[in-house]
Copies of this chain bind each other. A is one copy, B any other.
Amino acid sequence: MDRDIGDIGDISAPARLAGTGEGISPQELALAARNHGMPLEALRYDLTPPGLHYVLVHYDIPYVADAGGRRLTVGGLVRRPLALDLDSLRSYEAVTLRVTMECAGNGRALLSPRPVSQPWLVEAVGTAEWTGVPLRVLLAEAGVGPDAVEAVFTGADHGVERGVEQDYRRSLPLSVATGDDPDVLVAYEMNGAPLPPQHGYPVRLVVPGWYGMAHVKWLRDITLTDTPFTGFQQSVAYRYRLTAEGPGEPVTRIAPRALMIPPGFPDFMSRARVVRPGRLGLEGRAWSGYAPVVRVEVSVDDGRKWHDAALDAPEDRPWAWQHWHTAWTAAPGSHVLVARATDAEGRTQPVEQPWNRGGFGNNLVQRIPVLCLPES
């Protein structure tokens, strides 16, 4: 289980906030060079093409040379412990779900003060079709004991975090693990192919509607327990806290968000957008982990006035983002485009920064500065 690795000096430091005006640190850059977002122009695709889906790996991507020899164990408070290889998993009826996944830290690097961690802007998202076995089916087969309250999921990725050596490990309440809203999957295919190494090969958890930290990759064990899991990734990381002290609230489902494909063309270095005068389409995707998105509003004047965009119906894919579009007649000068999603339960996106110490669940509206060139 988690263990304090002892005195390892500077290499594993407590969480901190960046100082006023402090640039992105070499450590944050090293994370950004490995873990990448989805280039926003890929919002054009309902199903994110391979390699463009966001990736966040806490430690190293485990190397699995012989997936056939691996077993996923299901144990703890169950009547019939299981040890399932890929063939066993494939022998169950397969379920495929289209799921929009987002990192809980998306937007972190835009916060002030900035929590020092993976420095996401707004691109930590992607949509894929995951195929696997519903977790509730496996748990029914194993026979969950009457005292079980949580299922604990252990990945094969191993590292240190704030002085604690650990395998990546997270839990779900039993009601979620055995429920069907969402149908939690033990997935072995992404977009109809074996999982890529960085997405959890050979087997991972998929928890539709929840932020990415719940979707344990390189899944090797599921243990049913009679006490809530208190490991690092559950009780230290991934909590909503305003100060370093206190237990905070757990990070769970995805707050609503709309993203827009930045229109026109970019400057290489600043990524600032340039358009020519005239009418152009604006489009993007919107999602919420709580309920379908029912409204997307767009502002072309940095949030002073808003109008409703046209929102495509969700096509019986409740866990996937929805396409939206509208039009804009660009006039020469500087503009700021904004989009805002609202879900069926009334959750919407703030126009002022929410803030918490981990930089989690931040769904501040996206702002896209655009320069419209003079009439030529």
Contacts and interface: CB of A to CB of B under 8 A. Distances in A.
Contact of A198 (B52, B58, B270, B274): B52
Contact of A266 (B5, B22, B60, B374): B60
A24 interface: yes
Given A30-B271, A267-B161, A371-B8, A197 B49 contact: yes
Given A270-B12, A274-B11, A29 B160 contact: no
A158 B31 contact: no
Contacts of A61: 39, 41-42
Contacts of A22: 23
Nearest to A21: B23
A57 to B, nearest CB: 7
A53 B52 CA distance: 11
A66 interface: no
Nearest to A271: B30
Interface in A256-293: 262, 265-272, 274
A98 interface: no
Interface string A8-30: 11111100000000111111111
Given A27-B271, A34-B123, A60-B265, 4 more contacts: A39-B60, A49-B197, A59-B268, A116-B269
A152 interface: no
Interface string A147-189: 0000000000011111001000000000000000000000000
B109 A29 contact: yes
A50 interface: yes
A63 B49 contact: no
23 contacts: A11-B371, A22-B23, A26-B109, A32-B32, A33-B37, A33-B119, A33-B123, A34-B39, A35-B36, A36-B55, A39-B198, A41-B61, A44-B63, A52-B198, A58-B268, A59-B266, A60-B262, A116-B269, A159-B265, A159-B268, A161-B267, A162-B269, A165-B274
